[in-house]
Amino acid sequence: MRGKFNILWVYAGFFIIFLYGPVLLMPVFALNDGTFATFPLKGFTLKNFAAMAANTSMILAFQNSLKIAVFVAVLSTALAIPAALALTRFRLPGGAAIQSFMMLPLVIPSIVIAVALLVIILKILGIGLSLFTVAAGHVIVCLPFCISVLMSRLEGFDPSLEEASRDLGCGAWTTFWRLTFPLALPGVISSLLMGFIISFDEFVIAFFLTGTETTLPVYLFSQLRFPNKLPGVLALGSLILVGSALLVIAAEVIRKRGVASSNPGDF
């Protein structure tokens, strides 16, 4: 059946509206000259965006989020590299079990992780809540993503490359730095971006584990109590939306390019 009316196209249309419609309303209202997020729109303005520059507590929260995200991206990637290497290079006894165990944080609700960590940090370790405790929680959530991104990269290349490097006189450490790391670099970069974006957007763990300083998502949430702050929140949300989208696209482009170049021998 090749009629003009195709039910699948309608389905696809609704699907996309359902998925992106609400999100795309946010920048629309952020650019609207009015306090309330309602139609009809009143007029175009950039004042909500301009007001952000003067909002010091928001900038502070932004800086905190940035610091945590960078720290988390680097730490979880650094931890994920040896794990991904071990899972792809060796036949570990119980390798499959270890792998699913490492991927478990993906399916545990973050509120469960947050509460469990809160109990451990306060009652067992007796450490005060700070940005560090938030970062520690974020590393747990980011690790499975980083590991799977790196594993898909490391699985892609010919195992005889590393054997050749050993055969040419390189020890395990030299082989890693001269061969494995450069080849895994696209994976490492997308792992860094992935860790950054997950940590930057994360709310539940940050909400539970933060001390006096807040991260950007937590700050956003706290602002929702004041109706007159809503346009500012929408403006901030729009910027985060654009920034996140750019980062994810960059990560995906780098990963795709990496996959394409891992088989240079195929003509």
Binding site for another protein (CB under 8 A): 157-158, 160-161, 163-171, 174, 178-179, 182-183, 261-262, 264-265
Nearest distance, CB of residue 259 and another protein, angstroms: 12
Nearest distance, CB of residue 80 and another protein, angstroms: 21
Locate all alpha helices (DSSP H) within the chain, ordered by sequence.
7-30, 47-54, 56-89, 95-103, 110-119, 131-155, 159-167, 172-175, 181-201, 204-209, 216-223, 230-261
Q: What are phi and psi of 65, to 5 degrees?
A: -60, -40
Q: What are phi and psi of 32, to 5 degrees?
A: -85, 140
Nearest distance, CB of residue 257 and another protein, angstroms: 13
Q: Which residues pair with 32 in a beta bridge?
A: 44
Nearest distance, CB of residue 94 and another protein, angstroms: 16
Nearer to another protein, 181 or 226 (CB): 181
Residue 132 CA to residue 124 CA, distance in Å, equals 17
46: tokens are 């950039």
Nearer to another protein, 42 or 166 (CB): 166
Residue 218 CA to residue 57 CA, distance in Å, equals 12
22: tokens are 């609400």
Q: What separation, in Å, do the N-terminal and C-terminal C-alpha atoms of the chain show? A: 39
Crossing angle for the helix pair 95-103 and 56-89, to the nearest 10 degrees = 170
Nearest distance, CB of residue 74 and another protein, angstroms: 23
* Helix, strand, or coil (residue 250): helix
Nearest distance, CB of residue 188 and another protein, angstroms: 13
